[in-house]
Amino acid sequence: MLIKKTLSLVFRLAIVAACLAYAFWGLDFDELFAALKEYNMLALAATVIFSFAGYWAMALRFNYLSNFESGNWLCFKAFFLCMAVNNIAPAKLGELAKAFYMRRECGFSLSRSLSMVFWERFYDLNAILALGVVIAFYFNVKMAFIPLAIGVPGIWAILWVLRMYPTLSDKLLKFLPSERLKEFLAELKLQLVHSVSLKMLIFLGVYTFVCWTLYAGVGLLTLMWVANLPVTFSQALAVFTLSALGMAVPSTPGAFGVFEAAVVFALSLFGIGKGEALAAGLVLHMIQYIPVTVVGALILAKSGLDLRKIRESDDGLNESGAS
């Protein structure tokens, strides 16, 4: 286990080091600072405020996944907590912390909370893939989206097997080494058999479309208004899509380095210099990082959750649902 964790850490650090080298190699810092000085501060403030509309949409979607049992405000807080933990802790721990938070606040089983988080993240991957397919063929950057193009249909195939062959699924689940994973997939199978319908999948798709439209809006406003870069709408959308893919790459908390490299690479496709591109990447990243981390850290502090126990404990499924 220790060797596996060490190799994973080395791999992630190697990715970050390579991305930082790419983003900063040959950088003209004078160009970087000159670009930052030209930014529209009023536009920056308005974009930060606008970003909260997207966060509220995320909360509405998560409340929908709870069958509207959780309430929008609680889901709003859960979103910030999740993002803050992902921004300060390794291994995307925020998703698990969010599940524990929902279990504590709503009395849900951890497996049910995890399944809600799964549907949320899975549809996000579908959104990135949908955007990526368009961008990849339009701007000829197909290689960047090959892992998603393989992984997302593969998950759909697994869900189809769980839905169509529940008895076979029960037999296969017995071979899984992790009790937490067994419980989660068992809950997911029950949902697929008894709760998941075409209507539910379509409505979740509509919620996800709204979430990602608002999320993309933050990127477009930053690039075209705050930074005032000479890019078209479709080019700015391509930059946003590649930056979103960068956020999904396993790396350090907050995806520092990887996100900036993705923005620099994307903007370089449209003739934007490294100084201007890195300035835009840094500002866009801070818009997405600072507000949610500050608010989420306050919510985490009040929640009483222990991140170390969440990360290390394997008996969370056996604990009581409510605190």
pLDDT classification of 139: cutoffs 50, 70, 90: low
Residue 4 pLDDT: 66
Residue 128 pLDDT: 87
Closest by CA to 273, choosing from 82, 23, 37, 8, is 23
- Listed in sequence order, the residues at least 6 apart from 85 whose beta carbon sits closer than 8 Å to its beta carbon are 93, 94, 97, 98, 296, 300, 307
Note the helical H segments in 140-197: 146-164, 166-173, 179-190
Report the percent of the chain where pLDDT is more than 90: 48
Residue 38 pLDDT: 94
Residue 13 pLDDT: 81
Give the mean pLDDT of 219-241: 94
Give pTM, 2 decimals: 0.85
- Rounded CA-CA distance 248/259 in Å is 9
- Rounded CA-CA distance 196/152 in Å is 18
**DSSP H/E element including 7:** helix 2-24
Residue 142 pLDDT: 58
**CB burial readout 269-281, b (16+ within 10 A) else e:** ebebbbbbbbbbb
Note the helical H segments in 165-273: 166-173, 179-190, 198-221, 233-248, 258-268
What are the domain boundaries of the chain?
2-313
Give the mean pLDDT of 29-54: 95
Find out whether 43 and 226 touch, Cβ atoms under 8 Å. Answer: yes
Select, from the ranges 4-18, 90-104, 192-206, 214-228, the one with the highest average predicted confidence (pLDDT): 214-228
pLDDT in tens, 263-301: 999 999 899 999 999 999 999 999 999 999 999 999 999
Which burial class, exposed, middle or buried, applies to 313 when counting CB atoms under 10 A from its CB (0-12, 13-18, 19+)? middle
Extended beta strands in the chain, E state: none
Find out whether 292 and 83 touch, Cβ atoms under 8 Å. Answer: yes
pLDDT at 64 over 90: yes
- Rounded CA-CA distance 167/183 in Å is 15
Closest by CA to 84, choosing from 55, 126, 104, is 55
- Listed in sequence order, the residues at least 6 apart from 258 whose beta carbon sits closer than 8 Å to its beta carbon are 15, 16, 19, 246, 247, 249, 251, 252
Which amino acid, residue 33? F
Which amino acid, residue 289? Y
pLDDT classification of 314: cutoffs 50, 70, 90: very low
**DSSP H/E element including 134:** helix 110-139
Mean of per-residue pLDDT scores for the chain: 85
Which amino acid, residue 197? S
Residue 317 pLDDT: 38
Least confident of 58-67, 151-160, 214-223: 151-160
More reliable by pLDDT, 235 or 319: 235
Residue 194 pLDDT: 65
pLDDT in tens, 146-182: 776 777 888 888 888 878 887 877 777 777 766 666 7
3-state secondary structure of 308: helix
Find out whether 227 and 285 touch, Cβ atoms under 8 Å. Answer: no
Find out whether 32 and 279 touch, Cβ atoms under 8 Å. Answer: yes
Tokens 């075409």 belong to which residue?
A: 198
Tokens 């490294």 belong to which residue?
A: 274
Tokens 């998703």 belong to which residue?
A: 95
